[in-house]
Amino acid sequence: MPDGAAPLLAAARRLAVLFGVIAGLTIGLSLLTGLALDSPAGRAVPTGLYVVGSFLLVVGVFSGIRGPVRPKGDDEGREGMGGLFGVGIFSQGIRTATADERRDARSTSWLFLTIGLLLLVLAIGLDDRTRLL
């Protein structure tokens, strides 16, 4: 195996485990919710996967469109609600994001988008109302 394949294989393994955990929790909670609402499992599971997959897609998009500036300060979480509405940014100033911060933002965005799309594909495959062929 080439040297470059080992990290990719490890990353694929981590992605598969993360997807399995999220899909398993979503299916379990969907089944419990369907049972509580007296809904058939064939309807509850795809609906739960659609909801969580769509949510992750939206989170991925908003995570990816974050601008190249960050608030000044040691800890981003210290702004409180003022930072959420932009008040904290103006009182402390802004700085340009480092290359590591931009890379991390892109990676996080791609992770959310990938898992969201995989959940939607799984939901389409499990949905009784859709025909793939």
Summarize pLDDT for 47-100 with one digit per residue, the tens.
999 999 999 999 999 988 888 888 887 555 554 555 555 555 555 688 888 889
- Helix 99-126 to helix 41-64 angle (10° resolution) is 160
Which of these, 126, 130, 124, 118, lies nearest to 22 by C-alpha position?
118
Does 133 have pLDDT greater than 80?
no
* Residue 96 domain-assigned (yes or no): no
Cβ-contact 30, 49 below 8 angstroms: yes
**Structural domain tally of the chain?**
1
Please state the rounded mean pLDDT for residues 20-30: 97
Nearest to 27, CA basis, from 116, 119, 121: 119
Question: Highest mean pLDDT range out of 27-36, 93-102, 124-133?
Answer: 27-36
User: How confident is the model at residue 34, as a pLDDT?
Assistant: 95
- The predicted model gives 101-128 an average pLDDT of 93
Q: What is the pLDDT of residue 93?
A: 81
122 domain residue, yes or no = yes
Looking at residue 66, its pLDDT comes to 82
Q: What pLDDT does 82 receive?
A: 52
Start-to-end CA span in the chain (Å): 37
Answer whether residue 88 is part of any domain: no
| Nearest Cα to Cα of residue 59 among 5, 99, 22, 10 | 22
Asked if the structure places residue 106 within a domain, the reply is yes
Q: Examine residue 89 and state whether it is found in any structural domain, yes or no.
A: no
Q: Does residue 2 register a pLDDT over 80?
A: no
Q: Is 29 contained in some domain?
A: yes
Q: What is the pLDDT at residue 101? A: 87
- The answer to whether the beta carbons of residues 55 and 120 sit under 8 Å apart is no
Does residue 107 belong to any structural domain of this protein?
Answer: yes
Element of type H or E holding 31: helix 5-36
pLDDT at 1 over 80: no
Asked whether residue 92 is domain-assigned, the answer is no
**Domain interval for residue 53:** 5-65+102-126
